[in-house]
Structure 1
């Protein structure tokens, strides 16, 4: 005889207990009377299966907001950055990938997930996979994930929220004796930011088969540039023996919670962004070669000023972006010889170009390849000279370092997020959107169904010590993440067939 939802919900609440540190015999649950007993076909009576949950019962799996925030701020002791306020938590983060601080955060991740009964695997890129068994362990886990590394002057939420929310999800499952039909996993991806080793999302890219592991292992740190990814993985003890491959660590799906890193949710007064895809972008390195000369004895017309020419190129890239409804940014600029009274003879700078469509980014690159050599030759390209004396001709080299095509996420994962947001927050608190930033979900989506969940951050500020997300918004995002996984797990059980779209299989 089935119970009314209200009575079973009450029983579930009464029965909630924490798992012991390691899986073993459960703590005896209180006697609820025969009328409250439910018989599960594949698990002990003291557990509840996700397939048994309707929408009301799913709402009883509640994220502990205080515990989630405690984890966020506790882990931020490793790599604490610039202070911007008076409160203990009002600091930024400077936890670069594979640093000693990153190792400490990784050690916490391993300890926390193993204590929840997860099997932890580290692959050859240092990606850490923690898997909680389900009832059917012959199929890949449904994963959530993000990253623990930060920018040199980053904040407390970018990446960190997605990982700590995954730990909280595992704890909520344990608290409520929840048994998933399929295994559930949490992954910490290595060097997502690309700040120390200049290739963003590199480890998920290797996992997806899009980046050769030899190229990733040989990446040298930006500064001082002596260590490689492989040498640092070895040094901190996270060069795993498992191959970094979707074949060795397959995923049934990948859900990622992240701050928006932009102002749209805040402007629209929405609490959840249902992310349908990620815009395209390319990273270029531009090298301008001129001639070192004395600043006091060389007149303007006789100079080959590499810095002046580079500045014209950077300004022109902004004009191109404006004309094409795209984005262009320079974040790294190095010059030689670096003396006050010497005209710079060589300048190297980065150029990041982005747009929602691949065609727009390709058009931007074509324009850059056409116009930058003209600017180096002293030609006036759409007012690039601005009345400046052109001086001598220079040389320019342009190399494409990284290409991330536009990504469209999977309809099943998007639906799970959309339904979860509506169930938890109501019909008018979410909006569908495209991510302007790249994330590990870009590469995950190449090998499994994927979607993302955005929560608002104050004024859209990110990659900045003042990056901030309200505690309630962090918890709401974690709640949507948890429920999305439950919905996807139920969907897998209901279908038990392959997706029509290759290569995804249940």
Structure 2
């Protein structure tokens, strides 16, 4: 059937209005999970869902669903969406374009009086960013049985506020069970958060999968002493050892695999005084590649570098892997569906993998999944300077319309859920 195109003006007006919730002076948004601004954004979203004729439900984790019935009420639905929580002083596009694009798909089908065979469901996942409550992707993680509900409820932020209490405070601790259920497939539209589409002047990324990664917590224990009288040969400086490891991470990523990336993103120094030799340093290491063996080898090499640095500086050391996630290829048929959709709307596109994790990673464990990327100008994301050209957002939404309507057509009666 012919597929209608989205209403760009309506879509942009809604986007601009939504971005006023929690807006910052520098053009970003500040809507961390379960904050007052996040509550206000949820309220607005629910209002729009209801205005579009969707049946709204909220589960135990505060995940918000909007359902549009299909001809076959018992068929497994096509689910699509993203998240609306943000980084602290983050960008306007991250997550939001996926949710509002999904809503625009519904509006477009409503305008064209199109009834799909399968039901359609939009979702806005809770706590995707993980900036306030760790780990990230808690809402989709509980939904897919990656995390236990009580574990998620017990997460605390840096001020001691508990996830369960804050979810209740903002009025979004729903009654629906947060657990796996029968889904036909899942699509997620998202900004790339990298430079490749922008560098190649392409509108669409057809996402084949997501990098695997390892997160390490490491520490060095040295000896604090006065920065003046203590001669260099008597020092056991924990920060010097840390610096050696930081340099080793950068060297390794230049030689350890063509797509290997590594980051030391957090460093805590004690006593952190200008005239005291650092006694204790705790730091994190993030290693990623689409090749699981490359990640494994990188972890082993960095653990060796930590031992070498400790020996050279005469300090104690510790290193713990706190998370390991394998590279995650998406469903071939869903990827092909996105590719056909990109071709149908005449978009310039490329197949690619994602260096960042998304809710789609977890959905991929329970149903066929793929993603649609739109460019991030200069590859900037997670900051107030994040920007995507509106024409590219609209192109992504039109690709989503085509992908969703194709998958919502019944082709096998055996796919009816029992």
Please give the range of the TM-score, normalised by the shorter of the 2 chains. over 0.9
- Residues 372, 74 of structure 1: alpha-carbon distance in 2 compared, 3 angstrom cutoff: same
Aligned to 1:383: none
- The answer (yes or no) to whether the contact 2:292–2:326 under 8 Å persists in 1 is yes
The structure 1 residue matched to 2:357, chosen from 438, 459, 468, is 438
- The answer (yes or no) to whether the contact 2:133–2:156 under 8 Å persists in 1 is yes
Say what the alpha-carbon RMSD is for the aligned residues. Answer: 1.8
Aligned to 1:372: 306
Cα deviations by residue, 1:48-74 (Å, 9 ceiling, x for unpaired): xxxxx2xxx21xx12111221222221
- Residues 301, 241 of structure 1: alpha-carbon distance in 2 compared, 3 angstrom cutoff: farther
- Are 2:141 and 1:220 equivalent residues in the alignment? no
Aligned to 1:94: 30
The structure 1 residue matched to 2:252, chosen from 313, 320, 342, is 320
- Listed as ranges, the matches of 1:244-263 within 5 Å are 244-247=178-181, 250-263=182-195
Aligned to 2:10: 67
Cα deviations by residue, 1:184-232 (Å, 9 ceiling, x for unpaired): 01111111112222322222122111222333222222xx341232222
CA distance in structure 1 between the aligned counterparts of 2:155 and 2:225, rounded to whole angstroms: 34
- Listed as ranges, the matches of 1:295-374 within 5 Å are 295-325=227-257, 326-374=260-308
Q: How far is 1:287 from its partner?
A: 2.2
Aligned to 1:10: none
- Are 2:150 and 1:233 equivalent residues in the alignment? no
CA distance in structure 1 between the aligned counterparts of 2:380 and 2:142, rounded to whole angstroms: 29
CA distance in structure 1 between the aligned counterparts of 2:350 and 2:134, rounded to whole angstroms: 33
The structure 1 residue matched to 2:400, chosen from 471, 481, 495, is 481
- The answer (yes or no) to whether the contact 2:77–2:408 under 8 Å persists in 1 is no
CA distance in structure 2 between the aligned counterparts of 1:117 and 1:81, rounded to whole angstroms: 32
The structure 2 residue matched to 1:189, chosen from 116, 120, 125, is 125
Q: How far is 1:498 from its partner?
A: 4.6
Aligned to 1:17: none
SS in 2 for 1:434: strand
Aligned to 2:338: 417
- The answer (yes or no) to whether the contact 1:82–1:465 under 8 Å persists in 2 is no
- Are 2:11 and 1:76 equivalent residues in the alignment? no
CA distance in structure 2 between the aligned counterparts of 1:271 and 1:143, rounded to whole angstroms: 23
User: TM-score normalized by structure 2?
Assistant: 0.95
- The gaps in structure 1 that reach 5 residues or longer are 1-52, 84-90, 379-389, 500-504
Aligned to 1:242: 176
- The answer (yes or no) to whether the contact 1:190–1:201 under 8 Å persists in 2 is yes
- The answer (yes or no) to whether the contact 1:206–1:212 under 8 Å persists in 2 is yes
Q: How far is 1:442 from its partner?
A: 0.6
Q: How far is 1:410 from its partner?
A: 1.0
Aligned to 2:412: 495
CA distance in structure 1 between the aligned counterparts of 2:323 and 2:57, rounded to whole angstroms: 28
CA distance in structure 2 between the aligned counterparts of 1:219 and 1:314, rounded to whole angstroms: 30
- Residues 403, 217 of structure 1: alpha-carbon distance in 2 compared, 3 angstrom cutoff: farther
- The answer (yes or no) to whether the contact 2:75–2:415 under 8 Å persists in 1 is no
Q: How many residues align?
A: 416
Aligned to 2:48: 112
CA distance in structure 2 between the aligned counterparts of 1:125 and 1:293, rounded to whole angstroms: 49
User: TM-score normalized by structure 1?
Assistant: 0.79
- The answer (yes or no) to whether the contact 1:136–1:182 under 8 Å persists in 2 is yes
- Are 2:394 and 1:394 equivalent residues in the alignment? no
**Structure number with higher relative contact order (C-alpha < 8 Å, ≥ 6 residues apart):** 2
Higher Rg: 1
- Residues 231, 336 of structure 1: alpha-carbon distance in 2 compared, 3 angstrom cutoff: farther
- Residues 415, 66 of structure 1: alpha-carbon distance in 2 compared, 3 angstrom cutoff: same
